[in-house]
Amino acid sequence: MIFLTVGSALPFDRLVEMVDRAVGDGVVREEVFAQVGAGRYRPLHCEFVDFLARPEYEARFAQASAVVSHAGIGTIATALKAGKPIMVMPRKKVHGELVDDHQALTAERFAALGHVLAFSTRAEFEAGMRRLPGFVPAPRHANAEGVARAIGTLLNQLCPADMGNMQP
């Protein structure tokens, strides 16, 4: 099963429609399960829901052979952590999907690093689908601990031990 998700916040009809039509045209042979958000387009060729509660979302994610989504960092990070191949399409300002084009840069950078496959058009989507079976995402070594340590240093400076509020 391929899990198509547009995230929790915004609709993304262009993506949902592109994938649904590709399923209808026989380009995508694997079954697609879609989380489509508050969009207007209703898929004709795949099972879908508007939103998923966190446990259901995680279950679908775990079952999926691959994920197709908007180029949001939450979904990308989740896929990389789970080692799931992910194909992403950026939301664009010109279509009123976001206030700027940062997702296009995210998609481009993460694709260049080998973490994701990126697409913006139907042709690029089809090319991505052909690459998908052999695509092994490059593991990402995010150093969250480095940021946490820097903040720990600040906390030590701002709040000497004697005035800290101790919590379990």
Residues near another protein (CB under 8 A): 7-9, 54, 72-78, 99-100, 102-103, 105-106, 109, 140, 142-152, 154-156, 158-159, 161, 163-168
Q: Of the two residues 49 and 151, which places its CB atom closer to another protein in the complex?
A: 151
Q: Of the two residues 114 and 152, which places its CB atom closer to another protein in the complex?
A: 152
Amino acid in the structure at residue 116: V
Q: What is the spatial distance between Cα 82 and Cα 80, in angstroms, rounded to a whole number?
A: 5
Q: Of the two residues 130 and 149, which places its CB atom closer to another protein in the complex?
A: 149
